[in-house]
Amino acid sequence: MPAEGFEVVETGRGRVAGVAEGGALCFRGIPYAASPVGALRFAPPRPHAGWSGVREAAKAGPSVPQAASRLERVQGRRAPDWDEAGSLSVNVFTPRRAVRDGAGRAVLVWWHGGGFTSGSGGWDWYDGARLAALGDIVVVTANYRLGPLGYLHLPEIGAANLGFQDQVAVLRWVGDNIAAFGGDPGRVTVGGQSAGAYSSLMLALDAATGPLVAQVLLQSGPFGLAPQDPEEAAERAEDYLRLLGIALRADHLALLSAVPVGRLLEAYGALSARLAAPGKAAPPMYPVLGAPGLARTFQQAHAGGGLRGKPLLIGTTRDEATAFCGFNPRIQQLTEPEALDLLTAQVGPHAAPDLYRRHAAGPTPAEVFTAIQTDNLFVDGSLAIADRHAAGGDATYVYRFDHAPAEDPHRLGATHCAELPYLFGTFDAYPDSPVLVGADNRRSALSREFATALAQFVATGTAEGWSPHVPGAAGIRHFG
């Protein structure tokens, strides 16, 4: 028998011992694939060899290698915890009675954001214990390779949307193992925030993984960002190799496998700095069109029925882009002509003036530009997805998270990532976050309302008291 407070579960690679916390059992740091080290650094995920005995699963595994995120200014700083070895792991949070009562609960596989460059499913920001207990669902979070390790485009050595291929491996791990944790592999919702929402839509629309997905939850997806063009991705790869001093060599794989991982991150940081521009959202490397998971654009795959029959819940925060623009002095000091010049570069000379006029209620050019970025990158694409899905007769629910911090010295409002502590109930994990500054007597109630609504969708595919979305009609549920 397991020790008091622990529970042992049998997976396909060995037994794991989770720990009881509150109303949930938590199994952290379970390998779903072999460590991406040496010759496996730029290879598709390979099966883990397994282990003997009982593996302790009380602590999350390390993050995948990454530099600090620019969103640390919004969410708070994190001490680096990355290591290539052991980084491809999952975390499972399940109601205490779920592993024994045979009920087969709905499952949420939730992906962290971070611009395909940073983040970890093992961070306490995204601890799923409270959500699992509140909603009586099984919550799974996971790591996937990021930055150059996940999205360097060198298909000739097998490096093509490797971060997405890691996510596929997680989804298949869930299908093979989640019943042992009390989950139903036939009732899987894929969900996530920001880059995690982008990934969730890829998984739901892809012909190979779509059948594994029953429902879709998309939070603040940057759907205004088109997949990376393969020619641009190839150019970025060449630029990156030049920075590493191994450009245009036939033995890319061997050379890249030997480079210290810190050097890989430094070169990626240099490439990012070279390409940075005010209002530019795309990282140097992210999911590439034509590579695994993106045979077609989202629009083409959706129009072809890729989401048909899958209930969808999709939403944004009210002031998404303040997280990116609010701390950028070049944007904050924009004059109107400068703002129009930036918009012209993004949308063309004919659309820019009209777009600016339609948002000109803001008191400063910076606020007008920021509002436009919120719509262009997040809101318009999300509503287009919702409209198309609802028009096809599928259950569709749309929300907007409006709650701003009690004190808001940076004028962030309800910014990108603001809803995350409310979903997971992990407020103590954000001690330095400006989105939680000031006393807020609504925090607990709003967290319960928001988390309950999303968990109910995962459990049932519906949202009680929440009108389904109708294209062109007011049907957005506001939180906060």
Q: Residue 473 in contact with residue 383, Cβ under 8 Å? A: no
Can you spell out the DSSP letters for 60-126?
A: --PBPS-PPPTTHHHH------B-STT-SEEEEEEETTHHHH---EEEEEEE--STTTS--TTSGGG
Task: Single out the residue of 151, 130, 148, 147 nearest to residue 139, CA to CA.
Answer: 130
At residue 130, the 3 state secondary structure works out as helix
Which amino acid is residue 417, in one-letter code? C
Q: Residue 412 in contact with residue 74, Cβ under 8 Å? A: yes
Q: Residue 301 in contact with residue 205, Cβ under 8 Å? A: yes
Residue 229 CA: distances (Å) to CA of 28, 89, 164:
36, 30, 16
- DSSP structural state of residue 288: B
Residues known to be catalytic: 194, 320, 416
Q: Residue 421 in contact with residue 437, Cβ under 8 Å? A: no
Give residues with Cβ within 8 angstroms of 1, minimum separation 6: none
CA dihedral 396, 381, 298, 152 (to 10 degrees): -130
H runs (alpha helix) in 377-441? 380-391, 420-424
469-472: long-range contacts (C-beta < 8 A, 24 or more apart)? 469/386, 469/387, 469/389, 469/390, 469/396, 469/397, 469/398, 470/390, 471/386, 471/387, 471/390, 471/391, 472/387
| Other CB atoms within 10 A of residue 59 CB | 11
Q: Residue 149 in contact with residue 42, Cβ under 8 Å? A: yes
Give residues with Cβ within 8 angstroms of 441, minimum separation 6: none
For residue 389, with 0-12 CB atoms within 10 Å meaning exposed, 13-18 middle and 19 or more buried, which class applies? buried
Q: How far apart are CA 370 and CA 447, in angstroms?
A: 27
Give residues with Cβ within 8 angstroms of 345, minimum separation 6: none
